Amino acid sequence: MNVLRDMECSNCLGTFEMFQEMDSPKTFVGMCPVCNTEGTLERIYLTAPGIAFGMISGAVGGSGFYATDHKSSDLIKGRAIEHKNKLHGE
């Protein structure tokens, strides 16, 4: 499976994108499309990979988290009391 990766040339420090196999090495000798010379090409990360929890703040609006990401202790206590009342028929 080919994936699009960001690459950097060791000769000109130019960056470009190229398709590579998933298991390809991080560095290899190849032709740079920026300076048109053969040199060491290295895979780089222009954006840090990570996990976004909930909504990204400002992208859609809101505080940046879903309501289910964290429950307040008052809400948890309230639900526990409701459950207790249901068990005892109150």
> What pLDDT, in 10s, does the model give residues 20-76?
898 888 999 999 999 999 999 999 987 666 665 555 555 555 555 555 665 556 656
- Give pTM, 2 decimals: 0.50
Question: How crowded is residue 9: how many other Cβ atoms within 10 Å of its Cβ?
Answer: 21
| Separation between Cα atoms, residue 10 and residue 34, nearest integer Å | 11
pLDDT above 80 (res 79): no
Residue 49 domain-assigned (yes or no) = no
Nearest to 39 by CA among 12, 17, 1: 12
Do residue 9 and residue 32 come from a single domain?
yes
Do residue 67 and residue 35 come from a single domain?
no
The stretch 65-90 carries a mean pLDDT of 63
The predicted structure's pLDDT at residue 46: 75
Please give the torsion angle defined by the CA atoms of residues 25, 29, 30 and 36, in that order, rounded to the nearest 10 degrees. Answer: 140
Its domain, for residue 82, covers 54-90
